[in-house]
Structure 1
Amino acid sequence: MANLSSVARSAYSDLLRLLKDDMIANVHGSLVTKKRGDKVYWYAAEKIGNAVKFWYVGPDGEETRSRVDRMNELRAQAAERRKERSRLARLLRAEGMTPVDRGTGGLLLAMAKVGTFRLGGTLIGTNAFRLMEGELGATL
């Protein structure tokens, strides 16, 4: 096990921030809040046919509200963020973080698109340990 450099740790946190921005920027429909018990959550309300579907975005908080307020600005900057995400991913590979293979990456992307992780789904096993490198600040 080797510690990640400060450059890699910074790149990882920047990449997480950009991905969270994209989560809000890619919302279809309008954003609304719903109260469940004593907590408030953000949802995207989208009309599909005659029904309105609600897609979970996340818990209400300062960070989420800030992103919601900047939603149109985030949508306009999508291409720039995509380029920056690619650059950060290359930097993390160069710093020694283990990339996932193409097949696993496609599967994880599909799981993310259907909301598995947003709704609390958890990845376990070898790939989970690989993906923890950025959180732990060390390569395994």
Structure 2
Amino acid sequence: MDDDRAGDARPAPGDGRPAFDVFSRLCPSRGTLEHVTGRWGGLTLGALYEGRLRFSELRRRVDGVSEKMLSQTLHALERDGLVRREARPVTPPHVDYELTPLGRAVAERLLGLIELVEGRMPEVVAARARYDAERSGPTRGGR
């Protein structure tokens, strides 16, 4: 029997699942997870963990991000409550970005993952080389 509740973001009380379920297609936590784990979101959170930065400083720190993408990323992270934007009324105007307490907690965990990946890159590079070597050999099984 098909259960229409399967896609609900908030399950019925007492069913043992958390109030939000990222595996549910309708759950709003999916969008936040995407903002945090996407390329620019993760790098932006990591950079801001180092401290408050102006837009131009942040753009230099997150090498390769366009002005447009950084702006969109910051808006999404601010909307999710992870980043605080402060416009200072000086000439020329200065806008600073910093992590909120929630943003710091998320960034701490993200930085753990970043450190793990960076530390294990020799294994990743070796795995990629093996994979590529296996795929560049003679065609097997009609592939």
TM-score normalised by the chain length of structure 2 = 0.30
Relative contact order (alpha carbons < 8 A, sep ≥ 6): 1 or 2 greater? 1
- The structure that has the greater radius of gyration is 2
TM-score normalised by the chain length of structure 1 = 0.30
